[in-house]
A and B are shown apart, each in its own frame.
Chain A
């Protein structure tokens, strides 16, 4: 696969914090998009539900918007689904715990986690960066 040397050099300079912010923004809007698709809704519907203009929602959904907690909570409220959740709280059995913005397709059950040798303890004690490296295993049941 062709790579450009100028861009490759720059890639190495990108601070982890910037890459993490951008990746998280994408995960967040992709999650919102996924909920909209699952509910047969589009950005126009979301705009109506939130009392916002379609242009505003379109701006949010480009992967670089800095969402406030209030906005995220409002979106969760009108769509009736969780977008993000706090990690590290006591785990309830049969309750999904989301370690970051998530994708339903990456759901793993406890037995699947065990078969992949992912320990619950290590997942909860790892640093943010480490946790992101195991993104596809970020769900437990």
Chain B
């Protein structure tokens, strides 16, 4: 079910050259990325897919969130991408702000029989959340509410609402 309400963007993990951020809805105990990790670490048949994603994200943490590593997922010209695990049926969605800043959202199970994410509500909601966030962040950057300082998002990272 689509989650509504205000949310914030918060630092998830930090590395020497890259920062991972995630999204947390107000009042939620877990961030969106934590929900994804928690959910699929308890599903035995999805564990290998999850491990591939964790190992892949660790490489991104070292190499940077370079555009060429991501699969563009949203219809719009935004930075929403999926972790491109060819053999896996798990999808995790991210929003590339720069090569050094990545916002990680949620995702879900996408059976190989389903061609697009749009027909799966959980996946569609995850992509729409990041696509909407991309829009708001760009506005806040243009009016200087948010600034990018190397690998850091600085400024108003609260009270986002789609």
Q: Complex Cα distance A15/B48, Å? A: 9
Q: Complex Cα distance A141/B13, Å? A: 40
Binds B, one of A55-63, A72-80, A116-124: A55-63
A contact residues around B85 at 8 Å (CB): 64
Q: Complex Cα distance A100/B12, Å? A: 32
Contact between chains at A7 and B37 (CB < 8 Å)? yes
Residue total for B at the interface (Cβ-Cβ under 8 A): 28
A contact residues around B51 at 8 Å (CB): 10, 13-15, 18
Q: Complex Cα distance A58/B55, Å? A: 20
A contact residues around B12 at 8 Å (CB): 2, 4, 7
Contact between chains at B68 and A33 (CB < 8 Å)? yes
B contact residues around A11 at 8 Å (CB): 54, 58
- Nearest CB of chain B from residue A68's CB, rounded to whole Å: 13
Chain A interface extent, by class: 20 to 34
B contact residues around A21 at 8 Å (CB): 52, 55
For the residues of B in contact with A, the DSSP-based class is helix
Q: Given A4-B13, A7-B13, A7-B54, are A18 and B63 neighbors across the interface (CB < 8 Å)? A: no
For the residues of A in contact with B, the DSSP-based class is helix
Contact between chains at A1 and B34 (CB < 8 Å)? no
Select B55's contact among A6, A19, A59, beta carbons within 8 Å.
Answer: A19
Contact between chains at A6 and B34 (CB < 8 Å)? yes
Select B37's contact among A10, A30, A59, A66, beta carbons within 8 Å.
Answer: A10
Select B34's contact among A4, A61, A64, beta carbons within 8 Å.
Answer: A4
Q: What 0/1 readout, one digit per residue, does chain B (1-38) give for beta carbons within 8 Å of chain A? A: 00000000001111110000000000000000010011
**A47 CB-CB contact with B under 8 Å:** no
A contact residues around B84 at 8 Å (CB): 59, 62-64
Q: Given A30-B63, A58-B68, are A14 and B55 neighbors across the interface (CB < 8 Å)? A: yes
Give the interface of A toward B (CB within 8 A). 1-4, 6-7, 10-11, 13-15, 18-19, 21-23, 26, 30, 33, 43, 58-59, 61-66
Give the interface of B toward A (CB within 8 A). 11-16, 34, 37-38, 41, 48, 50-52, 54-56, 58-59, 63, 68-71, 84-87
Instruction: Pull 9 A–B residue pairs with CB atoms less than 8 Å apart, ordered by A.
Output: A4-B34, A6-B41, A11-B54, A14-B51, A21-B55, A58-B68, A59-B86, A62-B71, A64-B85
